[in-house]
Chains A and B, each alone.
Chain A
Amino acid sequence: MSVGIVGYGAHLPRRRIKVEEIAKVWGADAPSYKKGLELLQKSVPALDEDTITLSVEAVRNALTRAGGIDPADIGALYIGSESHPYAVKPSGTIVAEAIGAVPSCHTADFEFACKAGSEAMFVAYGLVKAGLVKYAVGIGGDTSQGAPGDALEYSAAAGSAAFIMGDDPDKMLATVDETYAFMTDTPDFWRREHQFYPSHGGRFTGEPAYFRTTLGAVNGLLEKANLKPEDFRWAVFHQPNGKFPARVAKMAGFTEEQYDVGRLVPLLGNTYSGASPLGLTAILDVAQPGDRIFMCSYGSGAGSDAFVYTVQDRIREVQNLAPKTRWMLEENTIQVEYGEYAKMRRKIRLAGE
């Protein structure tokens, strides 16, 4: 029996800040960021938005597309994030309560830098495949932060994507045909306990980390599935900036036509755990039955999870049932200036705080 995605949904904050707006505050050169990182703007969560609120909206959109499944039949719910609102107290309990999946539901919060979301998807898929639960939800969401003035500040963004895994043939939107994980201990990016902002290894984040790990997963999965890049209609990779996914795609043998739809980062920024999952939602929004999709996440530390999906006939019936990712990204937006952005991200402390 095939197991796969029976519902998917995304949610993005409406606010955006342009690279120029951040650069002018720090006297930095905006054109070099735009060209060097292929970043034009990034999403900014409001004061009342966090990983939990974005994820609740994403799951609700996924439920809408899952066509009337009873939330009580969701036997597991996992959120991957590196910005869980609480240090101690799960995010998943609040999301499960908000969608009505409680109390008979297994929940855990996952962390693994930017690949925590694909981990949640992998485990949700595995539990359905094992026959332990009827439906399981995997979520990748973040409201990530970069230190003011640091290169990360130009890209650290917010968004969430949710996938309901199941084995009901009538509800199937995209089967999961094969998976592969590639992981080594590589210290390219970290945040110690009690530190507000993360540290990174500068140039060390590229070659030995992102590219080696992503390519390891890509090649491992293609070999395991006995497929070639040209067997896929679409591909989506982790996207910390605009350049990395384009370069890794070319190195692996994929074309711009395959990766362009899922590469949201120039207009969205790096949504960390949400990055490749959100790219997948944008692909599912336009995919046709029979299309094969390649997905590969990347999380510093370092590891990649890769998936092969095949889109099913029912996709056409559900694409318009909930807001499409590109619409949220490109049209449903509010531009903010640095002052409002700093307030939104609590980069300035209020008197008495």
Chain B
Amino acid sequence: MPSARSWRAYPQTYRLEASRCSGCQKTFFPPRQVCNACSGREFETFRMGYGGTVVTHTVIRTPGDQFQGEAPFAVGIIAMDDGPKMTTQIVDVPLEEIRIGMKVKLEFRRMYAEGHDGVIEYGHKAVPLRE
């Protein structure tokens, strides 16, 4: 069944909406209620850009049911150019070519589908930045 939790998260998963603490300017993704740096409670919402850098990554060889047929694939922590870090798959690149410090761009992708008759969940994955 479609979950209310993933539906409520569409502003983050679809549009990369993050928050910036009005007190100390620290950025959060996903947004938080209380700033962990200055304990501020006022935030402004902003939409992150799509650029980032690989901080670390690992290769998943035995995935859960939802990712059947996709393994092996890479999951990494991406430091976004706009501040926050996020965890997501790194795709469209041979696994052995993924490097710490590699520049990436987030693209809109299918994250998983619930079987053949369930809802399709969309979000963002990282691809190598090529220009």
Q: Is the CB of B69 within 8 A of A98?
A: no
Contact with A along B87-114 (1 / 0, CB 8 A): 0000110000000000000011111000
Within 8 A of B (CB), among A304-353: 331-332, 334, 343, 350, 352-353
Query: Nearest residue in A to B17 (C-beta to C-beta)?
Result: A100
Chain A nearest CB, measured from B16 CB (Å): 10
Chain A nearest CB, measured from B76 CB (Å): 15
The one of B15, B69, B92, B108 in contact with A57, judged by C-beta atoms closer than 8 angstroms, is B108
A-B residue pairs in contact (CB < 8 Å), sample of 18 = A46-B109, A47-B69, A47-B70, A48-B110, A49-B109, A49-B110, A50-B120, A52-B108, A53-B109, A53-B122, A57-B108, A60-B108, A94-B14, A97-B15, A98-B14, A98-B108, A99-B15, A350-B68
B69 — which chain A residues lie within 8 A by C-beta? 47, 343, 350
**Bound Cα distance A342, B17 (Å):** 36
Q: How many residues of B contact A (CB 8 A)?
A: 21
Q: Is the CB of A53 within 8 A of B130?
A: no
A99 — which chain B residues lie within 8 A by C-beta? 15
Instruction: Evaluate whether A53 and B110 lie within 8 angstroms (CB atoms) in the complex, with A47-B70, A94-B122, A343-B69 already known.
Output: yes
Chain A nearest CB, measured from B48 CB (Å): 13
Interface set of B (CB-CB < 8 Å, partner A)? 10, 14-15, 47, 50, 68-70, 91-92, 107-111, 116, 120, 122, 125, 127, 130
| Apart from the given pairs A14-B127, A48-B70, 8 other A-B contacts in the complex at a CB distance below 8 Å | A46-B91, A53-B108, A53-B122, A60-B108, A97-B10, A97-B15, A98-B15, A100-B15
Chain A, interface residues (CB within 8 Å), range: 20 to 34
Instruction: Evaluate whether A332 and B15 lie within 8 angstroms (CB atoms) in the complex, with A48-B111, A50-B110 already known.
Output: no
